[in-house]
């Protein structure tokens, strides 16, 4: 029962955070809403015995990624012209229909196809410590893991290439 209460609280936090992220007119509030969602998801990870993933969630997402978002917002200025209410009624209705239908389709799939109804939850059948995850990561998935290193390197290089152009706005000449 205690688990149920914890789940409801943090699920509510996640949903509220998500909705406020979409609805807020000020991007800074969006960031804060998403941040709340991230933390709530981290707690849910803990409930699912994914300790290491939870820690990474807090460190990478809440720590690094959201900070990056904040930096960019500060860099390009807070743009409040785009608010949820600024869209036409048609767009809002259409969006609502698409999102709800999508949710319905997933829910239907969940009820009828995926969910086995097993009561695995609450049993200690899994222990997602750093050691266990690392064992898997450096055992079976070594090459995949190493290729993510390459991915990150490419991303870093790409970012530098994108950000590195002269002040006069001509992007053609990359300084050597």
Partner 1 sequence: MTLTITWFLFLAAGLFSIGLAGVLIRRNALVMFMSIELMLNAANLTFVAVSKELGLIEGQVTALFVMVVAATEVTIGLAIIVAVFRTRSSANVDELAELKG
Partner 2 sequence: MVDFLWLVIAFPLAGAVVNLIFGRRIGQPASGWLAFGLVAVSWAIAVPPTIGFITGGAQTETIFLFAWIPLVGADAALLWDPLSALMTMIVTGVGALIHLYSIGYMNRDERYPRYFAFLNLFIASMMILVLAANYAMMFIGWELVGLSSYLLISFWFTKPAAAAAGKKAFIVNRIGDWGYLVALMVIFATFGTFDFNTIFSTAPGVLTAGTATAITLLLFVGAAGKSAQLPLYIWLPDAMEGPTPVSALIHAATMVTAGVFMIARSAVLFELAPVSGVVVAVVGAMTALVAALIALSQTDIKKVLAYSTISQLGYMVLGIGVGAYAAGVFHLTTHAFFKALLFLGAGSVIHAMAGEQDMRKMGGLRKKMPITFLTMGVAWLAISGVFPFSGFWSKDEILAETFARGGGYYVLWAVGLFVALLTAFYMTRLFVMTFLGAPRWDDGVHPHESPRTMTIPLIVLGFFTVSAGIVNTPVRLAFKHFLEPSFEGVVHAKSLDLGLLAILGTIALIVAVIGIVWSWRKYSGAELPAEDGRWWERSRAAFGVDEFFGRSLVAPGARASRWVADTMDLKVIDGAAHGIGGGVRRVSEGLAKLQTGQVRSYAGGVAVAGTILIFVFLYVGGAF
Q: How far is the CB of 84 from partner 1 (least distance, A)?
A: 7
Q: How far is the CB of 126 from partner 1 (least distance, A)?
A: 5
CA distance 100 to 133: 35
Asked if 113 touches partner 1 (CB under 8 A), the answer is: no
Closest CB to partner 1 among 136 and 176?
136
CA distance 68 to 32: 13
Q: In 3-state terms, what secondary structure has residue 102?
A: helix
Judge whether 59 and 38 are in contact, CB under 8 Å.
Answer: no
Q: Report the site for partner 2 in 46-105 (rule: CB under 8 A).
A: 94-95, 98-99, 101-102, 105
CA distance 31 to 70: 7
Per partner kind, with CB cut-offs from 5 to 8 A, the member of partner 1, partner 2, none near residue 112 is partner 2
CA distance 34 to 21: 6
CB atoms within 10 A of CB 69: 16
Asked if 11 touches partner 1 (CB under 8 A), the answer is: yes
Going residue by residue from 134 to 163, which x/- string records binding to partner 2, judged by CB under 8 A?
Answer: --------xx--------------------
Q: Report the site for partner 1 in 87-106 (rule: CB under 8 A).
A: 87, 91-92, 94-96, 98-100, 102-103, 106
Per partner kind, with CB cut-offs from 5 to 8 A, the member of partner 1, partner 2, none near residue 19 is partner 1
Helices within the chain (DSSP H only): 2-23, 27-47, 51-56, 66-76, 89-109, 130-139, 142-163
Please name the residues in contact with 18: beta carbons below 8 A apart, sequence gap of 6 or more.
33, 34, 37
Asked if 121 touches partner 1 (CB under 8 A), the answer is: yes
Closest CB to partner 2 among 3 and 136?
136
Q: Which residues bind partner 2 (CB under 8 A)?
A: 94-95, 98-99, 101-102, 105-106, 108-109, 112-113, 142-143
């Amino acid at each position: 029962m205690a688990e149920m209460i914890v789940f409801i609280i943090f699920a509510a936090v996640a949903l509220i955070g998500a909705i406020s992220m979409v609805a807020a007119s000020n991007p800074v509030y969006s960031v804060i809403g998403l941040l709340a969602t991230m933390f709530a998801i981290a707690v849910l990870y803990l409930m699912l015995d994914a300790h290491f993933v939870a820690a990474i969630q807090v460190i990478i997402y809440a720590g690094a990624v959201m900070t990056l978002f904040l930096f960019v917002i500060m860099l390009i200025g807070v743009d409040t012209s785009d608010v949820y209410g600024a869209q036409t009624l048609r767009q809002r209705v259409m969006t609502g229909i698409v999102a709800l239908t999508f949710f319905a389709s997933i829910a239907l799939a969940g009820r009828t196809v995926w969910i086995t109804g097993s009561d695995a939850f609450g049993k200690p059948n899994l222990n997602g410590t750093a050691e266990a995850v690392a064992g898997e990561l450096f055992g079976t998935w070594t090459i995949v893991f190493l290729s993510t290193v390459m991915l990150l390197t490419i991303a870093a290089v790409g970012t530098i290439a994108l950000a590195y152009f002269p002040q006069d706005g001509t992007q053609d000449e990359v300084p050597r």
